[in-house]
Amino acid sequence: MPIFARRPDRATTPEADSWQPAGVGGPAAGADPDAPPRLIGAVSDVGGSISPAGAPSPDVSGYAPAAQPVAAPPRAQDRAPSTTSSGVLLLLLAIAIAGVAVFTAFLGGNAPVVWALLGALALVLVVQLGIVVRAARERRRLARGIVIATLVVTLLVNPLTVGGVRGIVDPSGPFGLSGLSGLFGAPGGSEAGSSGSGGARDADIDPIWKGYPGSRFTPVKDVVDGADLATFAERSDAMLAELRAALTAEFGFEWIERQPAKTEKDGNGFGGDSMLNRYTAPVWQTTKALTDIGQKNRAVEIIRQVAQRYGIVNLSMQNAPAAWRQPGELTDQFGGETLETQALWSLNAYDAIAAGGRFSTDIVDLSIDATGKVEKNRYFAITSLGMAPDGIELHLDASALLAEADRAAFLAALKPFDGLTVPQ
């Protein structure tokens, strides 16, 4: 069946009815007689059929071509990925990182952590810029809106802006000028680092404190009202003499002075010299060790009794087993996990006789040093300080001691610091 329909407003003509396909009735004028015959117009370019020879041929100028097939729209999975979903994910990521930055900055986070978050936000910004360009090209309003919202969140809430606000509120904190300068390393080695007591960083402390005449670690009141240098030396010598006498009476010891008394200038804790002194009493040691645990316990009892008469009531046994100890810790330091197996017993007390005083006693018995760790730990004391491998040792020293002759000058030197709080 023909695929053309005649338009009713067109009429046929004799010329149209007598149309013949080329090559059917003979070669056309001027054509190559040797060329193979060709059927011109035999097949319609728009879907016509072959006309038999001698059949009337339609006037194609009056016919409409058949409709061409319409291509199906691309499937959803074949479409380019939407910018909207990527933007939403990055918006949520930017909000999450910004929230962590705020939490870290205001609730005690350290600067390196916040700078790491800043790096993450920078990466988010780079990706966002690419999505902005893509969204602009695709003319997707929703995608562009999400990306712009993400950029606003990232630019307004990030470690730099949050840290800057905190630095204004708390200039001495880690986001103040000095705190951020310390992030990249401050000159001066340990002097520019932490104070070691959990207090202010040395880099944050006003240089005026380098000339402080007192001690960073001992209050002025304790220095002025407490034992002076001469008093401490006198009382420490008396206490050590009483200890030696009491222990000798119990165990028949002989004693050797391993190190003489020593007085030296004390630092102020800020990198400068104070007007105070450090005193180290003579170090005494017995010529023999106690090996019986009962005798060791008796020696500890005698030492406590004498120390209490000199106001030392906080004498603690460092080697005592306790639940908070890590497994193997006592063995590493004292040679065993129980008193029976420990080659070293150590008693210690602070604020002994003076605010900056420290008293310690070591009871060493290397005969039960099964691991050899105690003797190894004592290598320096034996080789450099002249101590015997074992025995009972008595140590007493103090810092921040004011010499009576320097009292007036010391009080005068404190005047520039009146009303100031000593950094800790």
Residue 155: DSSP 8-state? H
Q: At residue 169, does pLDDT exceed 80?
A: no
- On the 0-12 / 13-18 / 19+ scale of CB atoms within 10 A, 107 is exposed
The pLDDT-based confidence of 177 (bands split at 50, 70, 90) is very low
Classify residue 246 as exposed, middle or buried by CB count within 10 Å of its CB (0-12, 13-18, 19+): middle
241-247-252-256 Cα dihedral, nearest 10 degrees: -40
Please tell me the distance from the alpha carbon of residue 57 to that of residue 43, in angstroms, as a whole number: 12
Considering only CA atoms, give the Rg of the chain: 49
Distance of CA 329 to the CA centre of its chain: 27
Contact between 381 and 364 (Cβ < 8 Å): no
Q: Are 276 and 212 spatial neighbours (Cβ–Cβ below 8 Å)?
A: no
Select, from the ranges 22-31, 164-173, 295-304, the one with the highest average predicted confidence (pLDDT). 295-304
Supply 323's token pair.
């639940």
Q: What confidence score (pLDDT) does residue 143 get?
A: 61
Helix (H, G, I), strand (E, B) or coil at 178: helix
Looking at per-residue confidence, does 362 or 326 come out higher?
362
Q: According to the model, what pLDDT value does residue 35 have?
A: 52
Tell me, what's the pLDDT at 102?
A: 62
Tens-digit pLDDT profile for residues 73-112: 555 444 545 555 666 676 677 677 667 666 655 554 445 5
Tell me which residue of 276, 214, 271 sits closest to 401, measured CA to CA: 276
pLDDT in tens, 329-346: 999 999 999 999 999 999
Rounded mean pLDDT of 221-234?
A: 96
Q: State if pTM tops 0.95.
A: no
User: If you ran DSSP here, which 8-state letter would residue 405 be given?
Assistant: G
